[in-house]
Amino acid sequence: MNISISDLKLKKNIKLSEKIAPAGFLQGEDNGITGDIAVELALSLSGDDIRADGKVSFTLGLECGRCLEPYILPVSEEINLRYKLSADGSVTEFDEFGSDTFNPEKNRSTGDFYIPLDALLRETVLLAMPMKHLCRLDCAGLCPACGKNLNAGSCGCGKDHPSNPFSKLNDLLNT
């Protein structure tokens, strides 16, 4: 999915509402995405300003790093990109860190520049991935002695487990 600059010049506004199958899109990596990646994006050209606003959303099926239970995590990440169009048809990207020359792809046969949306969406999806896999922030994890899931209550080993050493280890392994 790429947006041609000449197409945008012609239409001024392009709205996209797409569902993308993650398998081919993320190049075979198993990121735990279940179902499609939904993309809503509005591109507009005003003068030499290009705005791309929208969001990607998807659902992750993960296993908690502490209690090992499977859980579902809905993820949504906003897209707010700004570009400046130059006279030669090239594009400069602007972000919170200032401006950066963005190298838009040039189609060899048509000579037209285009915004490589697939690459931008892929980056957005990967940035939205959680660093840690926790079913909830205060997941109590498993009892190191008997293996019971402590989220369901104390295990009856006769001890409280205020700091489970394995939960810290699991956190490290999942970062």
Binding residues for Zn ion, rule: CB under 5 A, are 64, 66-67, 135, 139, 143, 145-146, 155, 157
Pick 35 or 147: Cβ nearer Zn ion: 147
Pick 43 or 135: Cβ nearer Zn ion: 135
Pick 64 or 120: Cβ nearer Zn ion: 64
Smallest distance from the beta carbon of 115 to Zn ion, in angstroms? 40
Pick 100 or 165: Cβ nearer Zn ion: 165
Cα–Cα distance measured from residue 88 to residue 85, given in angstroms and rounded to the nearest whole number: 8
Rg (CA), the chain: 22
Q: Closest by alpha carbon to 44, among 85, 11, 91?
A: 11
Output the DSSP codes for 116-128: -HHHHHHHHHHHT
User: Which residues partner with 55 through β-bridges?
Assistant: 40, 78
User: What type of residue is 62?
Assistant: L
